[in-house]
Structure formats: C-alpha cells, structure tokens
Amino acid sequence: MPIIESKQAAQEYDVIIVGSGAGGGQTAYTLTLAGLKCAMLEAGRDYSPEMETAMFQAPNQAPLMGVSTPDKPFGFWDATVDGGWEVPGEPYTQASDDPGSKFTWWRARMLGGRTNHWGRISLRNGPYDFKPYSRDGLGFDWPISYEELEPYYTKAEMLVGVFGTNEGMENTPNSPPGVLLPPPKGRAAELYAQKHAKKAGVPIVSIHRAVLTKTLDADTIPAKLHPGDKKAQKIVGDAMRARAACFWATPCGRGCSIRANYQSTTVHLPPALATGNLDIIPNAHAREVLIDGKGKASGVLFIDKTTGKEARVKARAVVLAASSGETVRILLNSKSAQFPDGLANSSGLVGRYIMDTVGASLGGQIPALENLPPHNEDGAGGSHFYSPWWLYKEQLAGKLDFARGYHIELGGSRRMPGGRSPVSADSSEGAYGTRLKEEARRYYGSHVGFSCRGEMIPNENSFAELDPDVKDKWGIPVLRWHWKWSDHELNMATHATKTFAAIIEAMGGTVRGTVKTGKDAIDFGGSIIHEVGGALMGADPKKSVCNAWNQTWDVNNLILSDGTAFPSNADKNPTLTIMALAWRNAEHLIEEMKKGNV
C-alpha cells in the first residue's frame, strides 16, 4: 500500500488531491483508473478499518463504558480516531459571543475523513434542489440540472452500494431499476411509526443508506461503470469481491472491517491504490496552493506533522476536497501578488454563504411498544425508515412560513444498551431490585425519537474568514466563524417539532420534555456536520467562485470537489451529491488535460 512520507513524493504528479473523504476518494478513484498519477494529502494519520474497527466489543469493554469524551465525542468505539469538535493545536474562533451565532466545526483527522463515521444516508438531490431560486426567488440556482448529474448519482450508487426503495415521491428521485439494493425490514418502532404517522399526514418510507444488504454484482457492475476498459473493470471487480454483505454486527459509526458499508478507505481508495497511480501522504496539513508565474496552480505547500517542517508537492492540477471549511481556509491562506485576497477570490465570495443542515428533535414514549418480547433489532447502522419532505405543494402555495423543506429521521428499537440503563431514569424512578428489572423490561424499546434535517437558505451573515490574530500550532491563520439562522430556518424547526409531537400522539404516545420552538428548537450551526458552501459554483464569474465543473474561474487547473461549491444545501444529506459531482468533475478534468487546456 503506497502510503509514503513527504520526502518520498515524486518530483511532479498529474494531480494533487487534498483530502481523502467522499470527494477526495471519488476523485482519486476516477483519475487513477484513467491512468493519471496522483498524490493525496491527508491532514490526519493513516487508518485501516480492517485492522482497527471494533466490530464485536460491547460497551462494557471500553473505558468509561464507551461514553462520549472530548477526544471521542461520539463515544470510544466511534471510528474517528483523531478529530472532532476540537482538534488539539488547530483552533477556530467565533465572531460573536451570542450562543445563537455559534458554529461548531467538526473535523476528522484521519485517512477517509468523515466517511469513516458518518450516518451513510445517501439521498439524491431532486430537480427542485438544483433550481431553488427559480422556484421561490431565494438563494441561488445551480449552473447544472438534476438531469446533468443523474448519471453520476447512478454510478456512485452502483459503486458504493446503496439500499432502499423507489417511491416516486415529489422531488425525491427514483434510481434506475436494479441499482438500489434490497432494504432491510423496518424495526418494530419504525413499522409502528409508519402505520400511525399517516394520521398526521406524514409518509414514512424506506431510507437510502450506503450499506450492502447483499454482495455487489462484481461480474456486471464494473463494465457498466467503465465500459471498454478491461483493466479498470478487473480492478473494480476485485475490490467489490473483497466486500461482504452486512450481518448487522455493530453500529456503522465504528467503521466496518468487512467493508459492508461505504467508507472512502474501503471503497474508493483500494481500487485507486491498486492501479499503482496513487501516492498517499498522511499527516500532511495543507497550508496553501502554490501558484506559478502564469497564475496557474502548480502544487501545494503543506506542513509535515511528523517533522513540523514545510514540504511541497507539484502537479499539473490541484483538487481541493478537504471539506467546506477546510478548503475555504486553504484558499484564503493562499495569498500572493496575483491573489492578495486569497486564491480564486476575485469575486470576493470565498468563505461566503456557508450553510449547514437545520436540526431539531423531539422524543416520546409509546405504551404500545412496552413489554415487547425479547428480540434483536440491531439492523443497519441508523434508521431503516425516514420521511421525505411531503409538503411541496402547500409550500409553493404560500401556506407555510418557511420556504424550503426537511426530511424526518426516526429512531427507536431494542438495540444493545450503550453502557447505561436501557430505560430513562424517570421511567424507573425509585425502583430497585426486582421492580427495577421489571420496569426495564417494560420500557426498554418503547421510546422513540424524531429529528429534522432541513434545508438552510444561504445568507450573507453565515460565512468564514481568517482570524486576524489566532494561528494554529504551525503558525497558520485559523478560521473565524460568523453564523445566523434566518426566520425560514427558525420557523422550519418550529414546524418540525410540532409535527413530531403530532406523530407521537398519533402513535398513542406521550411527548417527553417540551415542544420547543424557534431559537430554542434549532441546533447550533455546524452541529449536523453538513457544512457546505464557501466557494459557490455559478454561471457568472462575478457572482460565483467556480464554474459548472467546479473549476475556479480565476485558476482553471484548480478544482473544488467537496461541498464547498454547493450553491444550496437541500434537505438531502450532501455526501452522495459530493461523490456524484466529484466523479463528474474528474471526468471533465481528464478531458481537459487530454486537450491541453489544463
């Protein structure tokens, strides 16, 4: 496996890729299978899910019963081995002390980035999501349509393996026949919610998630992905055969040693490495993109964390796929005589219009789910069902006080307790001994939870800039975050919590806690870990940073292949769209390099 030190890098590559997650991994896959020589810079350490995933350990085998700690915010067994809301030596700052203006920035410092621990919900943006301004006059349209990206959604789904069903719902696109894998059956709480949510007018269907419910067809899929390229087909087929179907052993957030779920480290990088065309340099903290005398990207200057010294790699083109905030940081720090305000920033829009997903939640207790017989409901990591946004017509008619939609994620089952009592303290208050056991059996699995994942409309008050004073441990200026939710998002959070209460009541249950509204209901910016934007793609160089192929207008051999170029942030989780865009961007880059345009 060509994991190399910075001093072992080649004199020059065709392409340097900064970041190894969904965008970086997909870019490396596409470019290397086409024969391009690539170097990948990863700010964190090397990571092997096959060797490091705790597939079978119970919570009581972990320190502190596996609970959350500052260096392990998602618990001891979570796949994020380095990183989190705070990264030692790499601070970020807030522009305001107002709690409502807080932005919490999640960073993964490891090979594969966030793809190692993410929820793996894989939803396609719909046609409306690419033209939101044309629909309601707010935000920005994308310079591409759903139809242009659809083939790449299909290829990404076939490559990574996504289960789910085609429901034909408005602005919730179907996949072509035979592309989706069979969905797992709903758990008891999910089936009960699906049945009774109809009373509240809410549809609940199978979710799309990047987990293999059966092995991929390695004999036919590679030919569909790489027609006419026998070498690529063999490499991809071999990689697919190395993946096993899920047997529901462990939460997906731990990573997957059998490669059943999607991680860049188990799906994108193995075939890229098998080509012999990829060198990966871990512990490479990118500082800036280097520019030659002609104003072209010529390489990347980075800090070798193992030595603390600066190092450089050169290439014909540079792809930034380090995550929205990190790519913005690199661009703003890439100052030169040609670009005194940061690289590719002639529009002044680098760092502007950053978005996250709207989050709000509510739980309830359902008597009908009490005293269920013991049964195993582990299943795929996360929920098997969800509710796509269902009120497009009402919204278009002006019947709602917010302009965009949200989907609902739900949870509730008799999963393995996470090192604590399987029931809440108030459900068994005052009980001990035999009665405590009886109360645990009664209430275990009877609690449900609903979460909103909604679209944020880009606004001028949500952006990132370089802090004028604070630097990281290597002397690099850090980001300072500005954040503001608009009334659209606050009203959405209110609508969501009231909807959740209606579903819980339709299930015959009782809401736990209070139904919060507005600022009290909405999660902090960044807390859903879906930040996108900061270098928007568009049709006008004066009003955007990138063109329709995510090439920056100012430097055509600099491509942004993470979420940075998103002009909007649909309620659909962004990872599948990042992959589809990265695949499309990479194919365009290959053609441009063949023509000598890059």
CA distances (Å), 401 to each of 125, 136, 483, 506, 579, in order? 23, 13, 21, 24, 33
Question: What domains can be seen in the chain, in order of their start residue?
Answer: 6-164+209-357+458-485+528-595 (3.50.50.60), 184-206+359-454+486-521 (no CATH)
- The C-alpha atoms of residue 543 and residue 469 are separated, in whole angstroms, by 29
pLDDT digits (tens, 9 = 90+) for 375-390: 888 888 889 999 999 9
Question: Considering the chain, what percentage of its residues have pLDDT values greater than 70?
Answer: 99
Q: Are 300 and 288 in contact (CB under 8 A)?
A: yes
- Banded pLDDT at 47 (limits 50, 70, 90): very high
Contact 410, 386 (CB under 8 A): yes
Q: Which residues contact 249 (CB under 8 A, 6 or more apart)?
A: 55, 56, 378
DSSP code of residue 224: H
pLDDT in tens, 436-481: 888 888 998 999 999 999 999 999 999 999 999 999 999 999 999 9
pLDDT of residue 368: 97
Mean pLDDT of 534-542: 98
Closest by Cα among 474, 478, 549, 475 to 330: 478
Q: Is residue 113 within 8 Å of 20, Cβ to Cβ?
A: yes
DSSP secondary structure of 439-465: HHHHHTT-EEEEEEEEPBPP-TT-EEE
Is-contact 32 278, C-beta < 8 A? yes
State the angle between helix axes of 146-160 and 575-595 in degrees (0 to 180), rounded to the nearest 10.
Answer: 110
pTM over 0.95: yes
Higher-confidence position of 572 and 65: 572
Band of pLDDT at residue 81, cut at 50, 70 and 90: very high
pLDDT at 585 over 90: yes
Question: Across residues 251-261, what is the average pLDDT?
Answer: 93
Q: Is the pLDDT of residue 430 over 80?
A: no
- To the nearest whole number, what is the mean pLDDT of the chain? 95
